[in-house]
Structure 1
Amino acid sequence: MTDRRPGVPSGLTMAWSRPVGWVLDHVVYRTTVKGRENVPTGGPVIFAGNHISFLDGPVMFGASPRPMHILVKQEMFKGFLGQVLTASGQLPVDRRGDRTALQRCKEVLDAGRCVGILPEGTRGSGAAADINGGVAWLALNSGAPVVPVAILGTRTGAEHLDSVPRPGRRFHVSFGNALTLARRAGESGRASMDRAALEIRAALAGHVQDSIQLSGQPLPFADARQDLTAVAGTPADDH
């Protein structure tokens, strides 16, 4: 029987959300998926994807060979959308720092399930130039391997950070080699966290660049709001 702990969503949440993710990737959009064979077929896995669009989480969810529970900013858990996110097993997180969310993710991993994280935190160029430490904490404290995920095409060129891609666009999702991290003898907790974060960032950034070369799909500008408003000659609105 699958382990079910207080902070672990019911497995029934995946019964309907997985097909919806597939439809998003392969009916609404055209998603090329590479590297499924790199994803461990059993046990807990942390999927760490780059972040360029609000569609990145759903697209990663639909492309993955295994179901996952994705960390989503808590502001999204309102109204009808919040009900959908909860019913599909996604996990709210306060991006200013949320130990409770991380502990809940660890419970999900300890139950043998998978967690999806966009460790850059906010939408940008998607180059993984910097990531938050939560993914490193989870990797070290759960023992789960980290699979870097490159997501390309969900935002392109000078498109606004909040733009919605037109149906039929080609997306590219690539799952990289799994990375397993552990504390080293004599290494302090802080040193372990810093090293793990650097290794995860390097693996994700490198995989994104490799995927760009293989797919031919470049990353978008880091903050298209500034580029577009500069052309128009009006100040950018600060969301």
Structure 2
Amino acid sequence: MIASAPDGSTRKRNAPAAWRTWWSRPLGRILDHVTYRTAVYGKPGIPREGAVIFAANHLSYLDGPVMVGASPRYMHVLVRDTMFKGFLGWVLHASGQIPIDRAGDRAALQAAKAVLERGECIGILPEGTRGSGDAASVNSGVAWLALNSGAVVVPVAVLGTRVTGEHKDNIPPLRRKFSVTFGDPLRIERVPGLSGRASMDAAAEQIRAALARNVREAIEQTGQELPADDKVDND
């Protein structure tokens, strides 16, 4: 996969091999059900075959791993590139996660698209940064992937990984209760007559609205709330 870097040079990022995810989901399940107590809802509605983009809200560092452990499908998650350092970076690489520069990274999106074209799954946190988790906004990367791969989008509500009074960098205490709710699959299509940019914006809003609705419904179903304050620095 080729893309132009910000300095005009060419970067190449290959799609990670499918086998790399074979041990990340078992580790995610240990995190979900041994380290913490995670209730999972909506799994029967997830397509058993074919490409799927799992799009989750973003509260803390644990949202991606918790989603991986809760899902019945293996997935490669798009993870901020600055996390790929030291031992954690080795783990992320070895488990098939895809580094992405949030400032704009076509190479990462192309690698994710290649995964989807193999009929596999991608995980993404389209809010971009850890925040209140209400999906008030999403970035365009998830819309680009949906429009250019034909994959269905499954909104995912993760609750409990950060609560009121906790900073974004906090790791929750052991055995806290989490919940993961998979929403109805959503197929995104281009709107006839709209320009490429307008189609992208429309797709992003469609995904944002579905994710926000799933978060609200998950709160009603589980009784778990989003953080009432926003102890988040823009990083």
Normalising by structure 1, we get a TM-score of: 0.90
Alignment RMSD (CA, Å): 1.4
For residues 11 and 134 of structure 1, the distance between their equivalents in structure 2, rounded to whole angstroms, comes to: 21
Shift of 1:222: 4.8
Task: Answer whether contact 2:24 2:68 (CA < 8 A) is retained.
Answer: no
SS of alignment partner, residue 18 of structure 2? coil
Task: Tell me the residue number matched to 1:216.
Answer: 223
- Equivalent residues in 2 for 1:10-159 (5 A)? 10-159=17-166
Shift of 1:165: 0.5
SS of alignment partner, residue 228 of structure 2? coil
Share of identical aligned residues, percent?
61
For residues 205 and 193 of structure 2, the distance between their equivalents in structure 1, rounded to whole angstroms, comes to: 19
Q: What is the number of residues matched between the two proteins?
A: 223
For residues 20 and 60 of structure 1, the distance between their equivalents in structure 2, rounded to whole angstroms, comes to: 11
Q: Which amino acid aligns with 2:92?
A: L
For residues 234 and 184 of structure 2, the distance between their equivalents in structure 1, rounded to whole angstroms, comes to: 38
For residues 222 and 190 of structure 1, the distance between their equivalents in structure 2, rounded to whole angstroms, comes to: 34
Task: Tell me the residue number matched to 1:234.
Answer: none
SS of alignment partner, residue 174 of structure 1? strand
* Corresponding position: 1:204 with 2:211: yes
For residues 89 and 42 of structure 1, the distance between their equivalents in structure 2, rounded to whole angstroms, comes to: 19
Q: Which ranges of structure 1 fall in alignment gaps of 5 or more residues?
A: 1-5, 226-236
Q: Which amino acid aligns with 2:123?
A: G
- Equivalent residues in 2 for 1:152-171 (5 A)? 152-171=159-178
For residues 143 and 132 of structure 1, the distance between their equivalents in structure 2, rounded to whole angstroms, comes to: 18
Q: Which amino acid aligns with 1:75?
A: T
Q: Which amino acid aligns with 1:55?
A: L
For residues 58 and 95 of structure 1, the distance between their equivalents in structure 2, rounded to whole angstroms, comes to: 19
List 4+ stretches of structure 1 deviating above 4 A.
none
Q: Which amino acid aligns with 1:54?
A: Y
Q: Which ranges of structure 2 fall in alignment gaps of 5 or more residues?
A: 1-12
For residues 39 and 187 of structure 1, the distance between their equivalents in structure 2, rounded to whole angstroms, comes to: 30
The structure whose Rg is larger is 1
Task: Answer whether contact 1:126 1:222 (CA < 8 A) is retained.
Answer: no
For residues 76 and 160 of structure 1, the distance between their equivalents in structure 2, rounded to whole angstroms, comes to: 18
For residues 186 and 213 of structure 1, the distance between their equivalents in structure 2, rounded to whole angstroms, comes to: 38
Normalising by structure 2, we get a TM-score of: 0.92
